[in-house]
Amino acid sequence: MRSKTILNELGAMALWVSASFLLGSAMSEAEDYELQATVQTPDIAFESETDIGLWARFHFAIHTEDFDSTREFYRQLGFTDGIGGFPVTNTHAMARALGMFDVCQYELEKGEVLLFPGAENTTGIDLLQWRVPFNPEPPYGRPNHLGMAYATLMTSDLLADYALLKSRGVEFLSAPYGAPGNRFVFMRDPDGIYLKLEESPIPRFASDVEQTQIVGMPYIGINVSDVEASVGFYKRFGYTNVRWINEQTLSLEESAAWGFDQAVRYRGADVAIDRGDHHRLRLLQWLEPFDSEPAYPPPINHKGINRLALTVPDVERATAILKNQGVPFLSEVAPCCSGTDTDTGGIVHAIDPDGVFLELVGNLTPRPVPPQPAHCPPLEIRYPASTP
């Protein structure tokens, strides 16, 4: 066993890992945020020379136009905890890692990693409001667009949650569809991002009629153009547990619950890792209607659901392995995230066959801060203003 300081939530293992990995020495600059924690996690025994050691889903990112209203929306769903205090500016190397190659330093308005206390599995959301640069174009208009399409939230009482959230002004695509224990409904957050509310087949007693009965996040939905090719791609990362979804033609009623006025057809696969948090991705290849528009291009600053972060023990080792297998990357590895030479972690973004950004987060040997480009002003690391 060894100690790791890494920001993650391994709900399936009842492990909560706080923010010292991301904050590093920034803790001294953000003393109001007592977030550092150390937990024991097992050393990973690599199964082969091509095993990158994928351990968990770190989070997925949502880029919002109004942090405060969007934060309140997710608080109503049950994301009542969070980790903040991250630098709002950072190195050019960090900007490059996000595809912001022409930016000396990016600037955030606000940011927080949202956490769902007591969830049954990994639920982290990296909620960011960009200031410079920011792409405010609307997110995907329908849930069949190529790319990261939606997150699924599991509830023990879908009808109760539907009534509660609708009374609070949440936008739903339809009334709930399906039989008890197998119902679902789509809603949209304040920025128009799709969330699928799905009912657990295992009934639970309601805890509080003023709170949702959401218990976890079973999977993230990613739309692909060729499901066989995408399954092969994700297997390289460690998604070796594959359950194929045979071609399905939905009824008009069920199609309407997805937001369509025609019968839809798709095929796909659920892919999961066999260790760590055992998190799952649902890969769907839409046959009808098919939207060939590519996923969000770089830089990674588009409003919407954008970027899936995954934890590995050694980010440089994982990157080298995947590059040798032909996986494209957006940039080189960047030390993360304090902007000092004490960072012991790094990030880098791989790109899936349809343009989805897969952020690898892992340990990195500390090194000097990469220099700013010659035309840039001196590096300035700033932190969010303290709240009274």
pLDDT at 207: 60
Q: Mean pLDDT across the stretch 258-272?
A: 98
Residues 101-138 pLDDT 10s: 999 999 999 999 999 999 988 899 999 999 999 999 99
For residues 313 and 238, give the distance between their C-alpha atoms in angstroms, rounded to a whole number.
13
For residues 16 and 37, give the distance between their C-alpha atoms in angstroms, rounded to a whole number.
9
Residues 373-387 pLDDT 10s: 999 999 999 999 864
Shortest CA distance to 68 belongs to which of 135, 132, 127? 127
From residue 103, give the alpha-carbon distance in Å to each of 49, 96, 106, 117, 372: 37, 8, 6, 36, 10
Residues 6 or more apart whose Cβ sits within 8 Å of residue 291: 142, 144, 145, 146, 223
Q: Give the DSSP letter of residue 289.
A: S
Render the burial of 208-227: b for 16+ CB within 10 Å, e for the rest.
Answer: eeeebbbbbbbbbbbbbbeb
Residues 52-85 pLDDT 10s: 999 999 999 999 999 999 999 999 999 999 998 8
In this model, does residue 230 exceed pLDDT 90? yes
Strand 125-132 with 56-63, pairing: parallel
For residues 40 and 4, give the distance between their C-alpha atoms in angstroms, rounded to a whole number.
7
Would you state the structure tokens that stand for residue 221, as one six-digit string? 């939905």
Label each residue of 190-203 as H, E or C: CCCCEEEEEECCCC
For residues 227 and 151, give the distance between their C-alpha atoms in angstroms, rounded to a whole number.
19
From residue 260, give the alpha-carbon distance in Å to each of 78, 194, 220, 364: 29, 14, 20, 46
In this model, does residue 340 exceed pLDDT 80? yes
Read off the pLDDT band of 208 (50, 70, 90).
low
Do residues 100 and 349 make contact, with C-beta atoms less than 8 angstroms apart? no
Do residues 148 and 140 make contact, with C-beta atoms less than 8 angstroms apart? no
- Mean pLDDT, the chain, as a whole number? 88
CA Rg value for the chain: 20
> Whats the size of the chain, residue-wise?
388
Do residues 136 and 303 make contact, with C-beta atoms less than 8 angstroms apart? yes
pLDDT at 112: 96
For residues 21 and 41, give the distance between their C-alpha atoms in angstroms, rounded to a whole number.
14
- The architecture that CATH gives domain 2-363 is Roll (3.10)
pLDDT top residue among 306 and 225: 225
For the chain, the 3-state helix, strand and coil shares in percent, each to the nearest 5, are: 15, 35, 50
What is the three-class DSSP state of 385?
coil
Q: Rounded to a whole number, what is the distance in angstroms from the first to the last CA of the chain?
A: 40
In this model, does residue 164 exceed pLDDT 90? yes
What residue ranges do the domains of the chain occupy? 2-363
What is the three-class DSSP state of 86?
coil
Do residues 257 and 290 make contact, with C-beta atoms less than 8 angstroms apart? no
What is the three-class DSSP state of 239?
coil
pLDDT at 202: 76
Do residues 185 and 175 make contact, with C-beta atoms less than 8 angstroms apart? yes
Q: Give the DSSP letter of residue 279.
A: -
